[in-house]
Amino acid sequence: MGRVRYLEIAEALRAAILSGDYPVGAQLPSESDLAARWSASRGTVRQAVATLASEGLIGSRQGARRIVLRQERRHSFGELNSFAQWAEGVGHEVHSRFLSRTRRPATAEEAERLALAPGTEILAVLRLRLLDGEPTMVERTAYADWVAAAVEAMEPDCRSVMDGLAAGSAIVAHYGEHLIDALAAGSEDARLLGIRRGSPLLRQRHVSATNTGRPIEWSDDRYLAGSVTFSVSNSAVATPLERHAGDR
Amino acid sequence: MGRVRYLEIAEALRAAILSGDYPVGAQLPSESDLAARWSASRGTVRQAVATLASEGLIGSRQGARRIVLRQERRHSFGELNSFAQWAEGVGHEVHSRFLSRTRRPATAEEAERLALAPGTEILAVLRLRLLDGEPTMVERTAYADWVAAAVEAMEPDCRSVMDGLAAGSAIVAHYGEHLIDALAAGSEDARLLGIRRGSPLLRQRHVSATNTGRPIEWSDDRYLAGSVTFSVSNSAVATPLERHAGDR
DNA sequence: CAGTGGTCTAGACCACCAC
DNA sequence: TGGTGGTCTAGACCACTGA
């Protein structure tokens, strides 16, 4: 059993919401109610409902009961950071093809994103990702020098590099930063994905870091338009997503 | 002064991080340190640092001091939900052109998103948005029946509908849900934005709701590729963004 | 006006980290 | 081993909601 009380309570409430016991718009029990029912303190209950609020499942306003906002599962950290973890989580089959793996000095941006000295040698990887057999995403990743050897040692068609790093080297991603925009397919993108040059692509650039904040990889992932959608909930008290101006 | 202690503390820490007093990678003072310095309880300090953690500014691990992850301002709720608020926040001039405003029965999806009975009459608005004078975004919004009259009463080139609703009718958005993907410009998109049909667009569909969870509007915003980027940070303990599979 | 969530306190014990 | 963050308790007062 989960030895952490507030996670137990959060999980039970989450399950009740997802199963429809509390439909969208319904009120949750009051804090004191929940505290009594779980024989926990009010603080612990508040930690539980705060967890659900951060997932966008419930909303709250002073003076009124909490209400259910959505009735959908929220993805985990790994499912946003790893293509393979996400695909399997939503029940798709994923394949990978390493097209090239070369060591070269980092570009200025790569050095910046990976917190490396300019010109440090990184491992540049080009991969084509297939979802249920169809080409879906082109991934260009720069791995920091200190993980390069571990990545090079992996199978040429391994399912998930991040999973491999975690299993083989105990290198685990804890933090991620993601930049999402759209762009036209270049000639290489077009050839690999089997589309015309200039076709719309959804791009997700992201850096993953360890629990000490040390960057592991900086990646540029380009999805076929229509193949994926990103989703985010926000509220007046906490906003996780932002919007940046591009170059004009 | 902000009468809420933990927000005061959070604001001071945030300012210190943004100003570079605590550069990326630096350690923050310990909780007991901060508690003593602010003569607050540890709980209050934890609430403050939790706020910064939810903004992606700092990270924490049991046993070690908190560390600074980023050194960037995080946008507010309004700046993600309102084009005008965002544009002004980043120092751009924004103009709007109402191209059409018509009442018509809601489509199935609109009724679903706005939590209305199928066929309820909504207000459909087509707007072209300009950033610093250049066409940047095409916005197609469906306003719920109960706000339609207030929206119709607005100036034909008003800066921000949501600001107008807040000022005129005390209708304020508290919750938002956003779906982000890419698609090819249709003929209307292309004509309005001055680009070729099939050019890549970044699409942000979103629904805004009041603090009682009542949906106000459901909007389909299409940005010129390269004009905006969305950004999100996540961590192993809290993930605000998710990725969905599209139709295949 | 009673009920509810938002804030705050002053303790406590534990798991984990770095030295 | 001492310091740190993670969890939990049992109170308290206040601001707001809703009948």
What DSSP assignment string belongs to B108-133?
A: HHHHHHHT--TT-EEEEEEEEEEETT
Cβ of A63 < 7 Å from strand C? yes
Q: What is the mean pLDDT of residues B195-223?
A: 97
Of the candidate CATH numbers 3.10.520.10, 3.30.530.20, 1.10.10.10, 3.40.50.300, the domain formed by A2-72 belongs to 1.10.10.10
Statement: A76-245 belongs to CATH 3.40.1410.10: yes
Q: Which residues 214-233 of chain B have a CB under 7 Å from nucleic chain C?
A: none
Whether A213 sits with its Cβ under 7 A from any strand C atom: the answer reads no
CA A91 distance to own-chain centroid = 16
pTM of the model: 0.93
Give the model's confidence band at B244: pLDDT under 50 very low, under 70 low, under 90 confident, else very high. confident
Instruction: Tell me the average pLDDT across B121-136.
Output: 96
The average pLDDT across B150-157 equals 87
pLDDT of residue A2: 63
Q: Are A246 and B229 within 8 A, CB to CB?
A: yes
**Residue B41 Cβ < 7 Å to strand C:** yes
CA distances to A119, A206, B84, B180, B190 from B201, in Å = 34, 20, 19, 11, 10
| Encoded amino acid at B151, one letter | V
- Nearest residue to D9, CA vs C1'? A41
Subunit contact A227:B248, Cβ cutoff 8 A: yes
**H or E stretch covering A35:** helix A31-37
Per-residue pLDDT of A116-141, as tens digits, reads 999 999 999 999 999 999 999 999 99
Residue A49: nearest nucleotide (C-alpha to C1'): C5
**Pairwise CB contact (< 8 Å): A211 & B61:** yes
With cut-offs at 50, 70 and 90, classify the pLDDT of residue A27: very high
* Closest chain A C-alpha to B78 CA, distance in angstroms: 8
Give chain A's mean pLDDT.
Answer: 93
Chain B: closest CA distance from residue A241 (Å): 5
**Helix, strand or coil, per DSSP, at residue B98:** strand
Task: Kindly tell me if the per-residue pLDDT of B109 is higher than 80.
Answer: yes
Residue whose Cα is closest to the C1' of D18: A64
Checking if the pLDDT of B246 tops 80, the result is no
Task: Please state, in angstroms and rounded to a whole number, the distance separating the CA atoms of residues B221 and B82.
Answer: 11
Instruction: Report the percent of chain B where pLDDT is more than 70.
Output: 98
d(CA A158, CA B12) in angstroms, rounded, equals: 46
Closest CA to B240 of A17, A234, A82, A179: A234
Q: Do B175 and A248 touch (CB under 8 A)?
A: no
Asked if the domains A2-72 and A76-245 are classified in one and the same CATH topology, the answer is no
| Mean pLDDT calculated for residue range B112-133 | 95
pLDDT above 90 coverage of chain B, percent: 82
State the nearest residue by CA to the C1' of C5.
A62
Cβ(B212)–Cβ(A158) under 8 Å? Answer: no
Chain A residues within 8 A of B177 when measuring between CB atoms: 56, 70, 231-233
Read off the pLDDT of each residue in B104-130 and give the average, rounded to a whole number. 96
Strand, helix or coil for residue A77: helix
Confidence of residue A247 (pLDDT cuts 50, 70, 90): low
Q: Dihedral sign, CA of B183, B184, B185, B187? A: negative
Quickly state the pLDDT bin for B1 (edges 50, 70, 90). low
Cβ pair B77:A173 closer than 8 A? no
Query: Taking CB atoms and an 8 Å cut-off, how many pairs form between chains A and B?
Result: 272
For residues A76-91, one letter each, b for 16 or more C-beta atoms within 10 angstroms of the residue's C-beta and e for the rest, the string is bbbbbbbbbbbbebee
Choose among B232, B244, B247: nearest CA to B72: B232
Alpha-carbon Rg of chain A, whole angstroms?
A: 21
| pLDDT computed for residue A142 by the predictor | 98
Residues 6+ apart with CB under 8 A from B149: none
Which strand C bases fall within 7 angstroms of a protein CB? 3-12, 15-18
Domain boundaries, chain A: 2-72, 76-245
> Given this model, what pLDDT does residue A156 score?
77
Helix (H, G, I), strand (E, B) or coil at A222: strand
Query: What six digits make up the tokens of A48?
Result: 């539980």
If one compares A136 and A89, the residue with the highest pLDDT of the two is A136
Q: Which nucleotide is nearest to B3 (CA to C1')?
A: C7
Q: Inform me whether the pLDDT recorded for A109 exceeds 60.
A: yes
Find the Å distance, CA of residue B156 to C1' of nucleotide C16: 61
A157 contact to strand C (CB, 7 A limit): no
